[in-house]
Amino acid sequence: MSTEFPPAGRESAAATKLQILATEHWSLLATRSLTYTESLGRVNMFLGILSGAVIALALVAQADRFGTTFIAVAIFMLGVVFFVGVATVRRLLMLNLDDYRWVVGMNRLRHAYLELHPELEPNFITSAYDDLPGALQTLGLGPASAPTLGTVFHGAVTLPGMVSVIVASVGAAIAGLAAIGFGAPTYVVLLAGAMAFAAAVAVMLRTGNRSFRGYGPRSEVRFPTPKT
């Protein structure tokens, strides 16, 4: 018996494949939407806690006139804000990794689309390859932006990067308040704040850069981008 499908059967099988692929594509799009929603929710939660802490410290400062009670309360409250900020940055990096996985999955589905209908290839501006260059092309970070991807400037304008700067500012405030509590002169307070800010920014941006560089090796490449 022949195992080949008649023309009508091949068309039906191709239509079924397209339906399955399209369903999975929509599922990944919905999952990406949830990822973005959680990212924005985490950032809003951190900013809400930071705003509440600043308002509370303003009330304490009015009552204590920036005395020792204010310094003790401020260090404790800003320490909590700093912890929430670090946890937020860490979660944002994890969500970015999840988003990378969903993009890789959609690139694989796009590769399957083009296997079924290769004549549609000129109509796609996103990639059909599941390696790091292919994922970056789908995300709009193709060869034109490649020179800036690993730089500090690129990291600073991303969502984890901007939150990292705010968290580093909170760390600098904690260091400055601690120096004031020990009776340090003004220049020592400023130096302590500057050093804490620089150290926090360097650590968190380096962590983000390492997370970005680990995106490609974390997934098995099945359809690499052709060499040009």
Quick check: is 187 in a domain?
yes
Burial class (CB in 10 A: 0-12, 13-18, 19+), 142: middle
Quick check: is 204 in a domain?
yes
Quick check: is 224 in a domain?
no
The string of pLDDT tens digits covering residues 144-170 is: 555 555 555 777 788 998 999 999 999
- CA dist 214 and 216 (Å) reads 6
Work out the mean pLDDT of the chain and round it to a whole number.
87
Distance of CA 19 to the CA centre of its chain: 31
Q: Are 193 and 173 in contact (CB under 8 A)?
A: yes
Q: Which two tokens mark 85? A: 């900020």
* pLDDT band (50, 70, 90) for residue 119: very high
- CA dist 178 and 61 (Å) reads 16
Quick check: is 226 in a domain?
no
At 87 the pLDDT is: 96
Query: Which domain does 18 fall in, by range?
Result: 10-218
Single-letter residue type at 179: A
How many domains does the structure of the chain reveal?
1
More confident residue, 37 or 5: 37
Quick check: is 151 in a domain?
yes
Q: Which CA distances in Å does 6 have to 2, 10, 17, 158, 186? A: 10, 6, 17, 53, 86
